[in-house]
Structures are given as structure tokens and as C-alpha cells.
Amino acid sequence: MNKRQLLSMIGAAGGATAMMMAMGQLGQVHASTFKGPIALEGGAKGKKVLILGGGVSGMVSALELSRAGYAVEVLEYQDRVGGRAWTIKGGDTFTELGGATQTCEFAPGNYINPGPWRIPTEHGGLIHYCHQLGVGLEPFQQQNYNAYLHSTDAFGGVPQRYKTIQADYYGHVSELLAKAVRQNALADSVTAEDAELLLESLRSWGALDRNMRYVKSNASASRRGWDKGPGGGLTAVPIPSEPLDVHTVLQSGLWRSIGGNLTNEHQYAIFQPVGGMGSIAAGFERAVGHLIRRNSKVTEIRQSERGVTVNFLDTKTGERLSTSADYCICTIPLSVLAQIPLNVGPTLASAISAVPYRPSVKVGLEFRRRFWEQDEQIYGGITSTNLPISQISYPSYGYGSQGPGVLLGAYTGGSISYELTAQSPAERVRRVVEWGKQIHPQYSTEFMNGVAVGWHRVPWTLGCFGIWTEESRAAHYDNLCQLDGRFMIAGEHASYIGGWIEGAVTSALDAVTRLHQHVQQAA
């Protein structure tokens, strides 16, 4: 089995988030290289740069090059900017391949991010531009111990609180390791002094009793939850809950969802833009919107020794137009670019065709009330499941609001994405509601409406994000990023942080820096 097949299987079983975490462990995702703002010194030498695509990568490129004095023009296919930094709100309409059109019916203030939806603190480049462009950030609740872990094959399909499974798993592992230490089974690796410290740490980490056992106690109940919690007055005495036995915990398989929140991108300190990811697009639009020509579908890219000419279609008027520049930075997703006539060298052409894109579906559901908060005390966070929906993410804004609320009812990938998008948007939403009822029965009475975005059916990207393997990176990655004559590529697909906006940011900064160096040397 090669890595691409393995990642595909992980994605089919656990969704895009699980696959992204697996990519990190397989060396396919790396930390951001952002070290601070760039300075393009020396002047633009009278040059013009044409940028294809008004997503974040294109707008970062436009902002930095225009600051350096370059004449900049951006062609954007859509009638909005931002690319996958996209927020769907009530009244918004979008049409997918095949002609299916959806109109969002969410109440004012509710929204869903069909693409990126969170910003790790590791992603300093994106956070830098948010601060610089006045985009407000607020906490995103990545992990919530009160959310659920769910499997149709465990506990009769009854969801279990995240904290219960984590506490019991940690507790039993601590007890087993403590037994090994006491039996000197680790004598070759741990000194006698360190063994005592290890036992002390295991008692604390696993909530073990004085005999180093994980049992029903106030200590374990403070982690996994109580049968009756502590209170006041004559009914104040708490009653601890009974831990699951180690066999039950291991056989449930629910422990598989615990480690995901330990990766750099999924730890507690994580943000979201106030009002949705579209706020990032709005921030860039305020800065470079005057440089962007919208509703411009690129139909041909031709370069010569003197410059680059791009033919495009005005999708509003039907007029066929062209524009030229000294250089071109292309941020069009490779899944689309591979279908556009383009004269580049054979190594770049092969690289463009070598990167498949991840199929993925996100479904936003609106309910009459925020029952997850009111009934189940879940404020933000994510529930994981082996159902085809993969996960449910609860909103990290508007806590305690009255009236309708929106949650992410599905974020899934792999073959189920094709199965879902073979059906109408309304049927996709209906199926997601039916699956979700197995975790939250309130779906039956509280559901109002929903929207379903299949990324492989979005005409301007044809997939969620580019997928590299170790083999394809070795063969094509450097070739993809090289300046080819007067043409170069930027975007999350030209980074080691695929699937994140930070990849688009760092790729753009690298591209404009190298292009500027080339201009200085050629002057």
C-alpha cells in the first residue's frame, strides 16, 4: 500500500480532518515558514505583474507587489474575492457544476464556512494579515470535553462524552504503566529515581488512587463526569461515576479520536475571524479590491520573451478580452489550470497535472434553537463519529443566543462525497439530518434548513485542496514552484501546508520575493 492509498482510506473513514492529521504524521504537512513581514526593496523597474485568481494567495501577491511599486492587475473568475475563504449567509446564492443552485435561508447573524474555518496560532502569516487589515479574530473552540465521540459499533450506537473516553483511556494506560514500573519492567530505560517520579506523574495524569489503580473515585469522576455532581446544601454530596473497564474502552475504538487534538494545528489556542472566513476576503478587498477585475474566466495563457498575455471571458457580458503584463503569478487551482491552454516547459506542465484534488462535502444545518447548548451543555467543539458525516462542529460564536442556530452538520471526504453529490442538494441535507439524529435526536423536531457544498463540484476549484504524496513531491514540487520564463505559480498547492490558508499566504510571499529578486537581477 502506498501513502496515497493510505491517506485515501484514512480520509474515507475519518473525513478530511483525519486525513490532514495523518498527512502531518507522514511528513506531508509542515509548520509555517512565516518569520515576519517582507520588504521588496529596489523598486519595480517599471514592471507590471498580472495575477490570476483573487483568492488569498492572489491578494497577498497583489498587496505586496503593489506596495513595492509594481503595476498590478488581478483577474478573478467569481463576482467576489477570497476564493475558499468563503462564508455563506442568509440570502447568498451559489451554483455548482451541473446547474444545481442553492439559496441560503439562514437567519441574520448565522453562517457557515464551507471551506477553511479556523486559524491555528501556528499560522503567523495569516494572523499577521488579519491584524494588518483590521480583521477581528475570536477563539475557535477546537476541543470540547463535553462534545461526543460516537461509533455505530460501540455502546449500542449511544454517543459517549469525549471526557469520559479520554479519562478512562488515560486512567487505564496510567495504571498499566504504573504496574510495569512497580515490577521493574522498565528498569533498562528508567532509573530508580526517575521511576518514582514517573509513578507520581502517572498518579496525577491518570487520576489514580493511592494504590495506583484507576477506579471509581472523586478523582476519576472529576475527569470523566459524575453520577451526581457536587452541589450545595443537604444534597451537596457528589456521587462518582463508574469507569468503563479497559477492554470496553479499547474495543470501542473511540480512543482513536483523542490524539487528533494534540497536533499543532488543532490545539486549544486557535482562532476564527469574527463573522466568518469571508471577513478575511473583505479585509484584503479593502486593500487591493481596486486592482481586481471580477467575473473574468481565464481561457488561455501565453508567454513570450517579452511578457505574458492572458485571454479571458467576461462572464457577465460574454465579451472576450485579453490583457498583458511583464510577468504572471497564477494562483488558479491546479485542477482548473490543467484544463487551460498554457505554454510552459514540460517539467512545469507535468507538475501541474500531477496533483489530484481532495473531494469533500460540508453541510451547514440551521435549527430553531441551540439545543446542543440548552439540552447538552455543548458550547463549541467537535463531535467525531464513524457515520458518513464524519463530524459535527458546534458554533464558536453567539453562545446562549435565543432563536435559530447553525452548526456544521457534516465535513466528510472520499467516496461518500461522490455519493452525496450525486444527489440533489436538498437530498444531501436530508441524509445528513437523518445521520445526525443518531447523535442528536433533537434534529427531528428542531431542523429548519441547510446548505450542502461539494467542493469537487465547485467550478472554480474542482476539489477541496491539492493532495501531494512523498513521491509526487520529490518528482514535481520544485518544478511547480520554479519561475518558468515569465510565469510562476502560487497557492496552497505550492506549499507544504496544503489545505490551510497559511499555505496560500507563505506560497505567495515566496513567489513575490523570488519574482522581485529576478526583476532586480534582470534590470
- As a whole-number percent, the residues of the chain with pLDDT over 70 amount to 92
Spatial distance between the Cα atoms of 398 and 156, rounded to a whole number of angstroms: 33
The model's pLDDT over 324-364, given as tens digits with 9 standing for 90+, comes to 999 999 999 999 999 999 999 999 999 999 999 999 999 99
pLDDT of residue 43: 96
Domain shared by 293 and 220, yes or no: no
Is the CB of residue 250 less than 8 Å from the CB of residue 273? no
Is the CB of residue 279 less than 8 Å from the CB of residue 87? yes
Domain shared by 128 and 44, yes or no: no
Buried b or exposed e, range 286-316, using 16+ CB within 10 angstroms:
ebbbebbebbbbbeebbbeeebbbbbbbeee
Domain boundary among 399, 427, 454: 454
The model's pLDDT over 296-325, given as tens digits with 9 standing for 90+, comes to 999 999 999 999 999 999 999 999 999 999
The model's pLDDT over 6-53, given as tens digits with 9 standing for 90+, comes to 444 444 444 444 544 444 544 444 568 888 889 999 999 999 999 999
Domain shared by 320 and 302, yes or no: yes
Angle at 9 between CA 5 and CA 12, to 5 degrees: 135
**DSSP-derived secondary structure for 163-184:** HHHHHHHHHHHHHHHHHHHHTT
Spatial distance between the Cα atoms of 12 and 19, rounded to a whole number of angstroms: 9
CA 261 from chain centre, in angstroms, equals 13
Domain shared by 170 and 122, yes or no: no
For residue 70, tell me if it sits in a domain. yes
For residue 138, tell me if it sits in a domain. yes
pLDDT of residue 267: 67
Domain shared by 382 and 304, yes or no: no
pLDDT of residue 14: 47
Domain shared by 352 and 224, yes or no: no
- Terminal-to-terminal C-alpha distance of the chain: 51
The pTM score is: 0.89
Domain shared by 397 and 272, yes or no: yes
For residue 112, tell me if it sits in a domain. yes
CATH value at residue 363: 3.90.660.10
The cell for 175 is 495504571
Domain shared by 480 and 337, yes or no: yes
For residue 7, tell me if it sits in a domain. no
pLDDT of residue 25: 45
Domain shared by 52 and 98, yes or no: no
Into how many domains does the chain fold? Answer: 3
pLDDT of residue 325: 98
Domain shared by 296 and 184, yes or no: no
pLDDT of residue 258: 87
CATH value at residue 71: 3.50.50.60
Spatial distance between the Cα atoms of 54 and 38, rounded to a whole number of angstroms: 20
Domain shared by 364 and 444, yes or no: yes
Is the CB of residue 187 less than 8 Å from the CB of residue 198? no
pLDDT at 157 over 70: yes
The model's pLDDT over 224-282, given as tens digits with 9 standing for 90+, comes to 999 999 999 999 999 999 999 999 999 999 999 887 766 766 666 689 999 999 999 99
Domain shared by 272 and 363, yes or no: yes
The length of the chain is 523
Mean pLDDT of 428-443: 98
pLDDT at 154 over 60: yes
Sheet containing 296-303, strands listed edge to edge, beginning at the edge strand earlier in sequence: 296-303, 308-314, 320-325
- Residue ranges making up the domain that contains 190: 161-252
Nearest to 105 by CA among 451, 453, 455: 451
The model's pLDDT over 439-462, given as tens digits with 9 standing for 90+, comes to 999 999 999 999 999 999 999 999
Domain boundary among 430, 454, 478: 454
pLDDT of residue 26: 44
Is the CB of residue 391 less than 8 Å from the CB of residue 411? yes
**DSSP-derived secondary structure for 34-61:** --S-----S--TT-EEEEE--BHHHHHH
| Angle, in degrees to the nearest 10, between helices 124-132 and 501-522 | 80
CATH value at residue 239: 1.20.1440.240
Spatial distance between the Cα atoms of 245 and 247, rounded to a whole number of angstroms: 6
